[in-house]
Structure 1
Amino acid sequence: MSRRRRIRSTFVGALRSFVRRKTAVFFTFFFPVLLILIFGALVGTRPTGGGLFAREPSYYLPGYLAVVVVFTPLSRVGSTIARHRDGNRFEKLATTPLRRWEWLLAHTLVNVAIIGLAGLLLLVLVVIVTGAEVVVGPVLLALVPLVVVGVALFCGLGAILGRIADSQDGVIAASNAVALPVWALSETLVPPTMLPAWFRPVTAFSPLTYFSRGVRTAADGGDPTGALAVLAVLAAAFFVAGAVAVPRTE
């Protein structure tokens, strides 16, 4: 079996597994929609006032997209590794030509496909529900590589968490413990000016900060190449580390 066929068969199996898990489908597609309806439509923004939502609606686009870019890969890849490990699946995979990076790549592609659809839905809803102004043009297409690279990064991190945690429950707990502060404090929903002065430089160490900057720049019609380049380098590093962390045997 060629490498392409190995990756494709693993991709198809992982995609079918996702579709069968109704809870995963709900949280990937409908939970972010609820956030948009709650914060975008019910709470709203106050560009001329103060408080957490004091910026224009388009400022919070990275925060909505980051819900699926961060939470879904971390929990899905991590829990899949824990589940495979409990079922001794990796011992069986060790007898096949499938390599660890091929396994992770196939699962990353599944997440890219799923999150790409969810991200498109969220983008449309943010514009319709919140009235966010997005500059439509060729630069807006940069959202595609930003999402792809961001998903790959957090798939790698999810693989690392799946290797470290000792159970599926442990993976979910670790994923939430990592994802929640990263999501909230990476220039997504909370502007840096609202953070303590001593903490603001810390956000530069979060990969999601560069995703937020890139998405916000592209939505405003600017060039997100710098943020995308940094995010791509970090994604490559996390993917390699994640591939190494994928168990071979248990």
Structure 2
Amino acid sequence: MTIIRRVRAETIAAFRAFVRRRTAVFFTFFFPVIIILIFGALVQTQPTGGGLFAQPPAYYVPGYLAVVVLFTPLSRVGSSVARHREGNRFEKLATTPLSRAEWLLAHTLVNVGIIGVASLIILGLVVTITGATITFSWLLVPFIVLGVALFCGFGAVLGSIADSQDGVIAASNTIALPLLFLSETFITPSLLPTWFQPALNLSPLSYFARGVRAATMGPVADAYGNLLVLAVLTLLFVAVGAVALPRTD
């Protein structure tokens, strides 16, 4: 069996497993909608005023996309790894030709597809509900793909070191919530203490947010540097995630 056939078989199995979990399907698409309705329709932006939402609606597009790019792969892959460990599935996997890297690639492809659809829905809702004026650049595709892959790798690490599925969920939320709001998504750097602003460069989500913002609002040239950094970080996180996956339980 070739690598393509192995990855394809695992991808189909992972997708079917996701579809069977109706609660996961529901919240994957419903949670970002709630965020948009709260921030975009109820709170709204105040471009002429001050405070947290003082930027034009288009400024917050990376934040809305980051909700699914960050939370979904981090929790889904982490939970899948923890569930496989509890069921001794990695021990069975070790007897098959499917490698750990191929397993992670298959689950990453499933997340890319799911989150790609969710991102289209989010962009449509943002434009419709908030009236944001954005450019639908082709650069959104690699940013979303790389962002999802990066946090799939991160999720694999969490799932490999957490002691249970509950532990993965707790750890992913503990990591994801600070990253979501401290990565130039919803909060502008100027609202943060001066001493803390350099720390924004330590978050991989910052490069996603900056790049998506440049791709949708301009200048587009600024997106390429962030895309390059995100690509390097993605390779690093995915490689670490693949190595961290247990061979046996």
Same structural fold, with TM-score higher than 0.5 when normalized by the shorter chain: yes
- The range that moved more, 20-29 or 154-163, is 20-29
Counterpart in 2 of 1:185?
182
Q: Which runs of 5+ in 2 are unaligned?
A: none
Counterpart in 2 of 1:5?
5
Counterpart in 1 of 2:49?
49
Deviations 1:225-245 (A, max 9, x none): 110000000000000000001
1:195 counterpart (192, 197, 200): 192
How far 1:3 moved relative to its partner?
0.8
How far 1:26 moved relative to its partner?
1.6
Give TM-score scaled by structure 1 length: 0.98
Letter in 2 for 1:171: V
CA distance in 1, matches of 2:23, 2:235: 30
Counting only pairs closer than 5 Å after superposition, residues 11-160 of structure 1 correspond to structure 2 as 11-136=11-136, 140-160=137-157
How far 1:40 moved relative to its partner?
0.2
How far 1:42 moved relative to its partner?
1.1
CA distance in 1, matches of 2:207, 2:131: 24
1:204 counterpart (201, 204, 224): 201
| Matched position secondary structure for 1:228 | helix
Letter in 1 for 2:193: P
Counterpart in 1 of 2:232?
233
CA distance in 1, matches of 2:26, 2:73: 14
CA distance in 1, matches of 2:76, 2:188: 29
How far 1:135 moved relative to its partner?
2.5
How far 1:23 moved relative to its partner?
1.6
CA distance in 1, matches of 2:50, 2:113: 38
Counterpart in 1 of 2:211?
214
- The range that moved more, 221-230 or 95-104, is 221-230
Q: Given the alignment of the two structures, is residue 163 of structure 1 paired with residue 167 of structure 2, yes or no?
A: no
Deviations 1:132-189 (A, max 9, x none): 11124xxx11000000000000000000000110000000000000100001100000
Q: Which runs of 5+ in 1 are unaligned?
A: none
Give TM-score scaled by structure 2 length: 0.98
The number of equivalent residue pairs is 247
Calculate the aligned-residue CA RMSD, in Å. Answer: 0.7
Letter in 1 for 2:248: T
| Matched position secondary structure for 1:189 | coil
How far 1:50 moved relative to its partner?
1.1
Identity %: 67
